[in-house]
C-alpha cells in the first residue's frame, strides 16, 4: 500500500497596518501566482494588520477593484496580528513597510523570519530599506492602489522565485 503523501505547507503571513488595503492584496496576489505555478498547495497564506480598527471587515473596495481588474480574488476578512500565535505558525512574516516590520520586531518576531515584501523585488536589489516600502494608499486616490498592486505583484513573483 502506498504511503499517504504528507505535504508540509510553508506558512506565509502578509502584514500591514489596517489589513484592508495592502496585505489582503499581497495575500491574494501571492495565492494567484502560486496557483499559476501549480504550487498553491505548498503554502498556508494569510494576512493581518498591526492595528485592530477594521477587524472583521472585507478589504477596501479600491483594493477589491484593482485585484478584480487583474483576475485576483481577495479571500479574507481583516484581523489583527496575534504575536503569540502568528510568530509560531508562520515561517515567513512579510511586512508591507518598515513601520510594520518594526512593529513585529518590537512584538518579538524572530528577526530571521521577518522581511520587507519589496526586498524580494529583484529590480530593487541594493535599494535601502527606506525605499522598499509599499506606501500606504488608504488616504490617497485610486492611482495609489494601482501602484501598490504593481509593487506587490513584482515582489510576490520574486518571493516565489526566492523561496521555492
Between 135 and 161, CB nearer to ligand 4NP: 135
Which stretch of DSSP H or E encloses residue 150? helix 142-163
Between 21 and 157, CB nearer to ligand 4NP: 21
Give, rounded to a whole angstrom, the gap between the first and last alpha carbons of the chain: 30
Residue 39 C-beta: closest distance to ligand 4NP, Å: 25
Q: Tell me, yes or no, if 22 is annotated catalytic.
A: yes
- Identify which of 20, 27, 23, 30 has the alpha carbon closest to the alpha carbon of residue 78: 20
Q: Tell me, yes or no, if 136 is annotated catalytic.
A: yes
138 binds ligand 4NP (CB under 6 A): yes
Residue 42 C-beta: closest distance to ligand 4NP, Å: 26
Q: Which of 21, 22, 118, 154 is catalytic?
A: 22
- Identify which of 63, 50, 64, 66 has the alpha carbon closest to the alpha carbon of residue 98: 50
3-class DSSP assignment, residue 13: strand
- Choose, by CB under 6 A, the member of 13, 20, 67, 72 that binds ligand 4NP: 20
Residue at grid coordinates 478589504? 59
Q: Which residue has its beta carbon closest to ligand 4NP?
A: 18
Residue at grid coordinates 504550487? 39
Q: At what angle do helices 22-36 and 61-69 cross, to 10 degrees?
A: 20
- Choose, by CB under 6 A, the member of 13, 21, 67, 104 that binds ligand 4NP: 21
User: Which residues here bind ligand 4NP, judged by CB under 6 A?
Assistant: 16-22, 49, 53, 136, 138
Active site residues: 16, 22, 136
Amino acid at each position: 500500500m502506498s504511503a499517504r503523501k504528507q505535504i508540509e505547507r510553508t506558512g506565509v503571513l502578509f502584514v500591514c497596518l489596517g489589513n484592508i488595503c495592502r496585505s489582503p492584496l499581497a495575500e491574494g496576489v501571492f495565492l494567484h501566482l502560486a496557483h499559476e505555478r501549480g504550487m498553491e498547495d505548498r503554502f498556508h497564506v494569510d494576512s493581518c494588520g498591526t492595528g485592530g480598527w477594521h477587524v472583521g471587515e472585507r478589504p477596501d473596495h479600491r483594493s477589491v477593484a484593482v485585484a478584480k481588474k487583474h483576475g485576483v480574488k481577495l479571500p479574507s476578512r481583516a484581523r489583527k496580528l496575534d504575536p503569540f500565535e502568528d510568530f509560531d505558525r508562520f515561517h515567513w512574516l512579510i511586512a508591507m513597510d518598515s513601520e510594520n516590520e518594526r512593529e513585529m520586531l518590537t512584538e518579538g518576531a524572530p528577526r530571521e523570519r521577518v522581511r520587507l515584501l519589496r526586498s524580494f523585488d529583484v529590480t530593487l536589489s541594493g535599494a535601502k530599506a527606506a525605499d522598499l516600502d509599499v506606501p500606504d494608499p488608504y488616504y490617497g486616490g485610486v492611482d495609489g492602489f494601482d501602484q501598490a498592486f504593481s509593487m506587490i505583484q513584482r515582489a510576490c513573483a520574486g518571493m516565489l522565485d526566492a523561496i521555492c
